[in-house]
Amino acid sequence: MSDGSYKAFDLYNPTEEHKMLRDMVREFVKSEVEPQAHEYDRKEQFNLPLFRKLGELGLLGVTVPEEFGGSGMDATAAVIAHEELSYSDPGFALAYLAHSMLAVNNLAVNGSQEQKEKYLPKLCSGEWVGAMSMSEPHVGTDVLGMKTKAVKSGDTYTLNGRKMWITNGVIDEQGTPGDVIWTYAITGEKNGRPQLSTFIVEKEHKGFSVGQKIKDKLGMRGSNTAELVYEDCQVPATQLVGQEGDSMIHMMRNLEIERVTLAAMGIGIARRCIDEMSKYASEREAFGKPLSFFGQIQKFIGESFAEYMSAKAYVYETARVLDLNSHGNRLNSDGVKLVASTMSKNVADRAIQVLGGYGYVGEYHVERLWRDAKLLEIGGGTLEAHQKNITRDLVQAGTLLD
């Protein structure tokens, strides 16, 4: 346009609000997250005081309507937050994701008005910490194989079962459970298939407890993982979300943003690794020349950058069109996590190789990022689950043409 008013669309910061969000989170990461990342990883502890500060920034309810204490933003905003946090501390970012996406966004989209009014303000402020309870000791992706059951008697449900690998299952070293647990359980059968239902379980509900805190994880040590026990757990019928059998709808509505934000974590990990290996290759010399002079190092850095940028564009484009209140974009939400998770692990691996012995120790960060990246290929859906879903969706579509 000749008047100079044309402004190119920025996929990564589509509005001024998005840019301000990125700047705010990036500054917070630099001043608050980065200084503690190595320490809390080594201690295998969740930094709860730091987490509560995310509430002050409006991040704990980033996708929640403002009427319930949230920031009322979109999927792109959620991706920005997860990318920036993961640049420094993916373990801390995972705890954030479990709260803000798996519990809080789930409730904001699927809960009743009364449930949202009761829980969301305290979850958005950080006063309460949320978690989502689905995986079990013997079952993960196969949700219809879960054994946890809920039986109704009068105005109460009794839940029995065990859940495993629950992020934010405990929130401190005393074994205190998360305050609000978004829980899936079987309430019967319909047409020969298990009927999954959703319950909001509070830590004070009788019969609910923490089984064990899971220690000695490969990575993501800055987030707490635990087994949760429901032993004749008494839950008021008002804690049922929707109707019995609605869980598959709840899962589908939330699964896409979960996987897209997990993919965004991979973007943050890769960006940090590229920064670290580029800096090191320019400063370290071999045979009188900087490492960046040598072709093999150039291959590691160049391929990492190209793969990172490709995955980043895919993640942000998927977020751009994602409707938080619906579903129907599983093909690409599976696709971005399939691509970004493995990409981030591979880039971290190359970063270790470029840094050599220094890359193998904690001081230079990339070994921690490599350990953290591996979880992205497992949590929130395994690589194999994504491959299966993508293949099924493509076969059903019959063509990639619009």
Return the active site residues: 258
Q: What residues contact 151, with CB distance under 8 A and at least 6 apart?
A: 157, 158, 187
220: alpha, beta or left? (left if phi > 0; alpha if psi -120 to 50): left
Pair type for strands 240-241 and 180-190? unpaired
244: alpha, beta or left? (left if phi > 0; alpha if psi -120 to 50): beta
Angle at 287 between CA 284 and CA 293, to 5 degrees: 60
The DSSP element (H or E) to which 151 belongs, if any, is: strand 149-153
Number of C-beta neighbours around residue 21 at 10 A: 24
- Alpha helices (runs of H) in 29-158, residue ranges in sequence order: 34-43, 48-56, 75-88, 90-97, 106-110, 113-125
Pair type for strands 180-190 and 130-133? parallel
Asked if residues 312 and 267 have their Cβ atoms less than 8 Å apart, the reply is yes
Q: How far is CA 322 from CA 16, 98, 261, in A?
A: 19, 19, 12
Angle at 165 between CA 269 and CA 47, to 5 degrees: 55
Angle at 309 between CA 305 and CA 315, to 5 degrees: 145
Sign of CA dihedral 100, 105, 106, 111: positive
Asked if residues 131 and 200 have their Cβ atoms less than 8 Å apart, the reply is no
Asked if residues 225 and 167 have their Cβ atoms less than 8 Å apart, the reply is yes
